[in-house]
Structure 1
């Protein structure tokens, strides 16, 4: 019996080639397009309308001679992704909908539909790889970085579980992007030259402030510029009585008040801004570009600093609450007072950085060798050993 694989066809080149490769490998392949969003009023509609994508996905399935259908997951998407985004922004955190979409939609709701169609596996066009090792007589699945260093998407899958990985295939993980395009054009797939979508997972480009304005009303507030020689940046490192105290210190962020800088402008809602952001501030006349160094959603104030080396942007560590720690490799999980040297990143496309993770009674500290710019609450930190992603957590 042929093994059955359901491929999430998104209408892009990567999933098209994934479906082609699986068919070549002798699987019984079914293509499924996920419709996750109906509201065109907040998408920049010519940038990735789902209609065009589902049409391209259908044409690819036709060309490959595989069955195809569209599933409407917009209700689950709204509940699990969109509502979550609103809640996070309201609290002044910056969520990562792509990581969540993979955990909650593609590898949960979608996977259940696929298994209901008799699938042995689901497959996606992600640039990452799956490894299998045997340990203590049981199979353990590894999430490995994709071969293409420019396209590695393992970070987006940092919340997957052993159970989800066991039923997943990543057919293009061993390929480079140009090789994927070449296969698509040799097979005359309509998606061969299609640009990569740059938007919210399966929604397309969303005008974020307008999107958030549906729930979070605009409210004018003050933009404050904090000078780079602000007193608090010059304080001596205190003496610590315990390791946990030192970890807390390294992971703590600066807190600002109105009197710590000068008022330089007005914004329309602190919850529309995120740390490290430089666009959209609309304040001119500075020697160097302005960056958001912190937001206060309760007082509706944005704190900014000039230049990308402003000390307010940097810190050495971060903290993940106990309930928000996730291990893909549960067998390597740290227990209280244990630590591990890892490579870590706090956003997609960031080069991996040397760090040490420390497990404590309250959660996990990630302390970097070098200070990191714009560590942002609500985003995910992911930690690796060589090219394997071991675990992740929400930055608290």
Structure 2
């Protein structure tokens, strides 16, 4: 009987994952990760960890499996929270959920599980794992979840072969509706529970307040750039080589406050991210204002009217060599090579046609169609059909 440690989060997905594994004849142990203590920054009604750990315990009791809580708040603070502050300070927008999976669930947590004699770790993610052989050696594949609306492979885009080899995703073949149905049939307390939103495990955090603990507010200007500005009218130059073209396609517009007009004030450029519409508190424009660029150096936020503003769109992005990750190292492309893939730059986005170009400088991802709000610090993940084969941090 193989032993599996399930990360019971107190939600319906991990509850059903534990139930299915038990049905399949595994010896199942439930572990709840406590990753946060500081109640001052959560909206406590929205998902306090106490309720979650209680629900996880009730599920374990109902399933008749051993249960315990592990406190990982120190590692979480060090690897996720401090990293987030660091990134925001640099004017980048991190993705804590992707990091939480790489650094906490499938690293710190996995090591604890293996020390308990586990053969596998299981989670309630909507994705699937498969196995293929390359040169006679087993290679693990990370596949999209069957429920297209819930597919969470994006959040696992930084996993390694070793981590995948020890992981199970019991609900990956199911639709969310089926998961809820199983939970109701088994009379699990989480059957009707709403999906948690907000930072991985912290619950719903008020991000500006959370950031303000570390990053001091600093008043600056909100500048509106008109869509007819000269900067957007430039003809595409001719290129003497591929690298020049890639650099051009992935480069950002460079703004100066003189390019537009001041339409308001903000409390710190590091609190804002590209594509953001809420929180600007500037009214009176025919179309809503969107953030098109932030400058933490000058503490200026650049905005444009309407979601079709040309400043929002770009066709390519670059990933630096140290931030490029291949889930399938055997498929990695070498310098000068390219590969057609489908890629996404955020969780809910439908996959987009794209081409990868490996260069000395890093990996360029060039999309067929311009993409809205390509944001530094976020992850881009690329697929071949329904297999996620690699990812990287947008630089």
- For the aligned pair, the TM-score class normalised by the smaller chain equals over 0.9
CA distance in 2, matches of 1:147, 1:354: 21
SS at match of 1:69: strand
How many residues matched? 395
| Counterpart mapping for 1:265-284 below 5 A | 265-284=264-283
SS at match of 2:20: helix
In structure 2, the residue matched to 1:43 is 42
What residue ranges of structure 2 are gaps of 5+ in the alignment? none
**Deviation at residue 371 of structure 1 after TM alignment:** 0.1
> Structure 1: which 4+ aligned runs deviate by more than 4 Å?
none
CA distance in 2, matches of 1:230, 1:154: 39
Q: Does 1:71 align with 2:67?
A: no
CA distance in 1, matches of 2:280, 2:254: 20
| Counterpart mapping for 1:373-384 below 5 A | 373-384=372-383
SS at match of 2:390: strand
**Deviation at residue 135 of structure 1 after TM alignment:** 1.4
In structure 1, the residue matched to 2:204 is 205
Q: Does 1:195 align with 2:194?
A: yes
In structure 1, the residue matched to 2:116 is 117
**Deviation at residue 105 of structure 1 after TM alignment:** 0.1
CA distance in 1, matches of 2:246, 2:101: 31
TM-score (norm 2): 1.00
* CA distances 1:73-128 after superposition (whole Å, capped 9, x unpaired): 00000000000000000000000000000000000000000000000000000000
CA distance in 2, matches of 1:44, 1:358: 44
| Counterpart mapping for 1:236-385 below 5 A | 236-385=235-384
CA distance in 2, matches of 1:49, 1:92: 29
**Deviation at residue 4 of structure 1 after TM alignment:** 0.1
* CA distances 1:211-267 after superposition (whole Å, capped 9, x unpaired): 000000001000000000010100011111110000000000101001010000000
SS at match of 1:76: helix
Q: Does 1:395 align with 2:394?
A: yes
**Deviation at residue 381 of structure 1 after TM alignment:** 0.3
| Counterpart mapping for 1:104-183 below 5 A | 104-183=103-182
CA distance in 2, matches of 1:106, 1:112: 9
CA distance in 2, matches of 1:38, 1:230: 48
CA distance in 2, matches of 1:268, 1:146: 40
In structure 1, the residue matched to 2:216 is 217
In structure 2, the residue matched to 1:386 is 385
* CA distances 1:335-366 after superposition (whole Å, capped 9, x unpaired): 00000000000000000000000000111000
CA distance in 2, matches of 1:16, 1:214: 34
CA distance in 1, matches of 2:107, 2:63: 26
CA distance in 1, matches of 2:130, 2:250: 33
SS at match of 1:56: helix
TM-score (norm 1): 1.00
CA distance in 1, matches of 2:218, 2:37: 27
CA distance in 2, matches of 1:205, 1:310: 31
CA distance in 1, matches of 2:285, 2:191: 44
SS at match of 2:274: coil
SS at match of 1:393: strand
In structure 2, the residue matched to 1:90 is 89
In structure 2, the residue matched to 1:56 is 55
SS at match of 1:263: strand
RMSD: 0.3
SS at match of 2:252: coil
CA distance in 2, matches of 1:253, 1:99: 25
In structure 2, the residue matched to 1:19 is 18
